[in-house]
Amino acid sequence: MNAALPVEVLKQHLIDPEICIRCNTCEETCPIDAITHDSNNYVVDPDICNGCMACVPPCPTGSIDNWRLVVRAEAYSLQDQLGWDELPREQPLPEAAAVAQPAADAAVEPPSAAAVAVMPSAAPGASVPPWSAAHPYVNLYTHKTPVTATVVGNYRVTGADTDSDIHHIVLDFGELPFPVLEGQSIGILPPGADAQGRPHHARQYSLASPRDGERAGYNNLSLTVKRVTEDHQGQSAHGVCSNYLCDLAKNDTVQVIGPFGHTFLMPNHPRANLIMICTGTGSAPMRAMTERYRRRIETGENGRLLLFFGARTERELPYFGPLMKLPRDFIDINLALSREAGQPKRYVQDLIRERAAAVRELLADRNTCIYVCGLKGMEVGVLDALREVTMQAGQDWTILHDVLRREGRLHFETY
């Protein structure tokens, strides 16, 4: 009698298209380029993925953490995955495969979360939150079960005479629970369908308000949304969700999913310092964190706040008026204006270099966390500036960078 030949089993890594918010974090994090996407889905190449798990902790929704045992020769192809609206159910394996499974499975068993946390990583930021961060709730509302929020405010926070049409939008959740922390984001489901007739995907926006509400004690939150009228190359483009949001009127309703994010969170212990580095609408989480500190200014438990904020001009800098009214001894504000008439072009990284002593002093304190949010292009410039200011003091940036990542003290959210 011939015994059935064992077939090779693969623990295939898959992304749940129903939960994924298409934020690109996994594709950026993957050290071996196993993750790719089209206009529909983010997908994992079974021929490349080695189950290293580097992409799992940074994913804000957990949609990345899906696995199916499959016969390797029948693994779901990229083409299969790109067409999915939902994950396929786990299928029973053939008997011969089941025999071979433990060895094959062991070969791809992903490392533990603790092991991943100490892995050397190519990602510029941490994949863990600061040790004292509060516990975040994530995925309370999904594509299948969105929550309806009501618009209670929508106003422009940039000069009316500028091209930067940035809105502060306040959403109220009424009686429905929507617990959030500063640094988290939500997804908005714009109405309508894409060119293929599929419902639009959710678009992700960071909270601009602190955990206790845009108005303290109310069940509401705010977003900072820039009306998209051109793409990154400057070509004319119509942002589906940003235009929808910027045009909303008071009492309109919006479908919301989330909250998302479990790492870009602020420390919760007394006298924690924050270095906040942002451009444009990347100021949203910085506003949330600053407001959290402002509301407890009387308690004396705040650490120091050092802000580097980049915009084209003062009139294109969201929240310019309210920001400039904050007390100088509460927050150290450094504005980098790149297109202000009669002034040299400045980027946030230029100001980090100019304020090297203040940056170094805070970096030397283990109670300091750094947050970077805004344009993707600033990432390299900011890292270079931080390297330079540390090296000027004879310190090794490579070591400090690793410590900051390991201790959840350096966070990036850039698009």
Q: Binder to ligand NAP among 348, 385, 386, 410 (CB under 6 A)?
A: 348
Rounded Cα–Cα distance for residues 323 and 9 (Å):
57
Q: Does 183 bind ligand NAP (CB under 6 A)?
A: no
Which residues inside 61-80 make contact with ligand NAP, applying CB under 6 A?
none
Would you say 339 is a known binding-site residue? yes
Would you say 226 is a known binding-site residue? yes
Using alpha carbons, list the distances in angstroms from residue 34 to 30, 64, 261.
7, 13, 23
Which residues inside 299-318 make contact with ligand NAP, applying CB under 6 A?
310-312
Among candidates 414, 413, 412, 405, which has minimal Cα distance to 130? 405
When CB distances to ligand NAP are compared, the closest residue is: 280
Would you say 74 is a known binding-site residue? no
Nearer to ligand NAP, 20 or 186 (CB): 186
Q: Does 264 bind ligand NAP (CB under 6 A)?
A: no
Which residues inside 325-344 make contact with ligand NAP, applying CB under 6 A?
338-339
* Binding-site size, ligand NAP (CB under 6 A): 26
| Binding segment toward ligand NAP, per CB under 6 A, in 108-116, 214-222, 357-365, 370-378 | 370-378
Rounded Cα–Cα distance for residues 90 and 10 (Å):
13
H-type alpha helices, 83-158 = 95-108, 113-118
Can you state the angle between helices 378-392 and 356-363, rounded to 10 degrees? Answer: 80
Contact yes or no for 99/6 (Cβ under 8 A): yes
Q: Does 130 bind ligand NAP (CB under 6 A)?
A: no
Q: Binder to ligand NAP among 378, 383, 385, 386 (CB under 6 A)?
A: 378
Rounded Cα–Cα distance for residues 27 and 366 (Å):
31
What is the DSSP secondary-structure string of 8-56?
-EEEEEE--TTT-----HHHHH-TT--EEE-SS-EEE-TTT-----TTT
Using alpha carbons, list the distances in angstroms from residue 96 to 16, 130, 404.
28, 47, 48
Binding characters for ligand NAP, 213-232, by CB under 6 A (x = yes): -----------xxx------
Q: Does 415 bind ligand NAP (CB under 6 A)?
A: yes
| Binding segment toward ligand NAP, per CB under 6 A, in 67-75, 252-260, 281-289, 388-396 | 281-289
Which pairs from 391-396 meet CB under 8 Å and 24+ separation?
Answer: 392/356, 392/360, 393/360
What φ, ψ does residue 44 adopt, rounded to 5°? Answer: -115, 130
Cross-strand pairs, 394 = none
Nearer to ligand NAP, 219 or 313 (CB): 313
Q: Binder to ligand NAP among 281, 290, 302, 368 (CB under 6 A)?
A: 281
Residues at the contact surface with ligand NAP, assessed by CB under 6 A:
164, 205-206, 224-226, 279-282, 284, 310-312, 338-339, 347-348, 373-375, 377-378, 381, 413, 415
Q: Mark the binding-site residues, compressed into ranges.
A: 206, 226, 281, 338-339, 345, 374-375, 413
